[in-house]
Structure 1
Amino acid sequence: MIKYNPKSWVTMIFALHKSDTLRILWKELIYIALLSTGIAWVEITYFPENRVLTNLNIVYSLVGFVISLLLVFRTNTAYDRWWEGRKKWGELVNDSRNLAVKIKTLNLSREDQLFFSRMISNFAVASKDHLKKEAILNNLNLTTEEIARLNQEEHIPVSIVELMYERLNQLKKAGVIQWEEYLVLDKNLNGFIDMIGACERIRNTPIPYSYSLFIKKFIFIYTGTLPIAFVGLLGYFSVAVTVLVFYVLVSMEILAEEIEDPFGLDDNDLPTDELSERIKSNISKILR
């Protein structure tokens, strides 16, 4: 995730970061400029006084308004997914701290405290890698037995929660913790499973294909034919207008595509590496 100063207008206006859509779209901007120039040349050469084509600018203004509404909905939907993902990771930070504080106040052995310290941190790291579809076990703090156990599991984060539940049940049967204390800890462990389930829903449910396909085709047809309506008013300056409109509309679609899956490696994705390290650091300090 890119960290920046939102009040620094000059820096942001002239910055050309690798995630900037201008760097992403420069080839497409050249193509649309060449297409627009060709359309403008044909219209100026063969249809110089065609009033029907000139009056099309009213229709294109209305169509442009419709596209803007579609893109607003598209961008808002993508941002809602990004923000929900951030809230779920915020809940994981809070549940991890709460669970660690509660475990610290119980009369547990040092071995049990270290076990929960490792597993809470492991869950955060495993969740981060699971959502990115990366290898998981190599980044976890596990014993040989735990590695052998988790190697057989398909869903590592849930299996880590299962290990914590097994340890809690052992402690409850041994009389180390009471039923009421078990229920208090159960609430935070349930929060872990709810969090990873919600994040998987966001990752595995992209915007419907037909909707995304329609928006892309709509933008291309609209911008590709835009010079037809404006050559009569602007001449070859309609090429610059077309390129600008194309850049704005396609940039909005690209940004929406980038943030609708907030758990990847794009520049604007959530800082899950940083959040998992923060959880690991907090838990180590609480249960040190």
Structure 2
Amino acid sequence: MISYNPKSWLALIFHLTKSDTISILWRELVFIFIFTMGLALAEDFFFPKAVVLEKLFSIYSILGFVISLLLAFRTNTAYDRWWEGRKKWGELVNDSRNLAVKLTSLDLSLEDNHFFGRHIGNFTLCIKEHLREGTNYALLDITSEERAFLESLDHIPSGIVELMYRRLNELKKAGVISEEDLLRLDRNLNGFLDCVGACERIKNTPIPYSYSMFFKKFIFSYVITLPFAFVVNFGYWSAIIATFIFYVFVSIEILAEEIEDPFGNDDNDLPTDEMAQRIQGIVHTILDKR
């Protein structure tokens, strides 16, 4: 995720990144500009009184209003997915911190504190990779026995939570913690699983195919035929106008596509790498005090 100062207007306007839609669409923008200029030349020399084209402008004004409503809905839907993902990772930060604080109040051994500190951090690293291309065991702080157990499972994040539940049950049987203590810790561990479940729902449930295809076809049909409605009224200036409208409409769709899956490595995705490291630091700071 790109960090920036929202108050630096000029710097933001003239700053380009690889995710900027101009760098993505520049070929299409050049094509629309040349295409519209060619239509303007053809209209000027061969169809100077094209009455049909003059009537198209009012039709495209109405279609522009309709497509603006669809774009607003599309953007809001994509942003809701991005924001829900951010809220779930915020809940994960809170559950991790709360679990670590509750564990320190139990006066566990250094070995037990280290065990829980490792696996709370492992869970955050695991869920980050699980939502991308799968778990990278090289990132996890696990023993060979723990790795063998996790490799036997289909869902690694659940396996890490299971390891923590097993240790808690062992401590309960040994009389180190009470049933009340276990219930208090259970709430935060359940929060871990709720978080990964919600993030999986966001990742694995894209915008319905038929809706996505219709919207893309509608935008494409609108912007590719837009120059026909402009050349009569604006002449050669229509090349600039049509190119700008194409840039705005298609850019909104591209940005919506990028943020509707917020767990990847795109510039506008959530900074899950930084948040996972932050959780690790918080947990170790709390548990290492004991």
* TM interval, short-chain normalised: over 0.9
CA distance in structure 1 between the partners assigned to 2:173 and 2:45 by the alignment: 90
Per the alignment, residue 247 of structure 1 pairs with: 247
**Comparing 28-37 and 162-171, the one that deviates more:** 28-37
Q: Residue 35 of structure 1: CA displacement?
A: 2.4
Could you report, residue by residue, the CA deviation over 1:206-247 in whole angstroms, capped at 9, with x for unpaired residues? Answer: 111111111111111111111211211111211111110000
Could you report, residue by residue, the CA deviation over 1:262-282 in whole angstroms, capped at 9, with x for unpaired residues? Answer: 000000100000000000001
Per the alignment, residue 123 of structure 1 pairs with: 123
Could you report, residue by residue, the CA deviation over 1:101-135 in whole angstroms, capped at 9, with x for unpaired residues? Answer: 00011032221111111010100000101111144
Q: Residue 16 of structure 1: CA displacement?
A: 1.2
Q: Residue 39 of structure 1: CA displacement?
A: 2.8
Per the alignment, residue 230 of structure 1 pairs with: 230
Per the alignment, residue 167 of structure 1 pairs with: 167
Pairing 1:114–2:80 present: no
The percent identity for this pair of structures is 62
CA distance in structure 2 between the partners assigned to 1:210 and 1:280 by the alignment: 42
Question: How big is the alpha-carbon RMSD for the aligned residues of Structure 1 and Structure 2?
Answer: 1.1
Per the alignment, residue 283 of structure 1 pairs with: 283
CA distance in structure 1 between the partners assigned to 2:44 and 2:65 by the alignment: 27
- TM-score normalised according to structure 1 size: 0.97
CA distance in structure 1 between the partners assigned to 2:267 and 2:6 by the alignment: 16
**Comparing 133-142 and 45-54, the one that deviates more:** 45-54
Could you report, residue by residue, the CA deviation over 1:126-162 in whole angstroms, capped at 9, with x for unpaired residues? Answer: 0101111144211000111111111111111110001
**Comparing 65-74 and 132-141, the one that deviates more:** 132-141
Whether the 8 Å contact between 1:36 and 1:224 is mirrored in structure 2 is: no
Aligned ranges 1:1-288 → 2 under 5 Å: 1-288=1-288
CA distance in structure 2 between the partners assigned to 1:15 and 1:53 by the alignment: 38
Q: Residue 36 of structure 1: CA displacement?
A: 2.0
CA distance in structure 1 between the partners assigned to 2:42 and 2:208 by the alignment: 38
Runs of 4+ in 1 over 6 A off after TM superposition: none
Q: Residue 55 of structure 1: CA displacement?
A: 2.1
CA distance in structure 2 between the partners assigned to 1:79 and 1:117 by the alignment: 33
Whether the 8 Å contact between 1:43 and 1:228 is mirrored in structure 2 is: no
CA distance in structure 2 between the partners assigned to 1:157 and 1:52 by the alignment: 62
Q: Residue 44 of structure 1: CA displacement?
A: 2.9
**Structure 1: 5+ residue stretches without partners:** none
- TM-score normalised according to structure 2 size: 0.97
* Equivalent pairs, count: 288
Amino acid aligned to 2:10? V
Amino acid aligned to 1:276? A
Amino acid aligned to 2:69? L
Whether the 8 Å contact between 2:135 and 2:156 is mirrored in structure 1 is: no
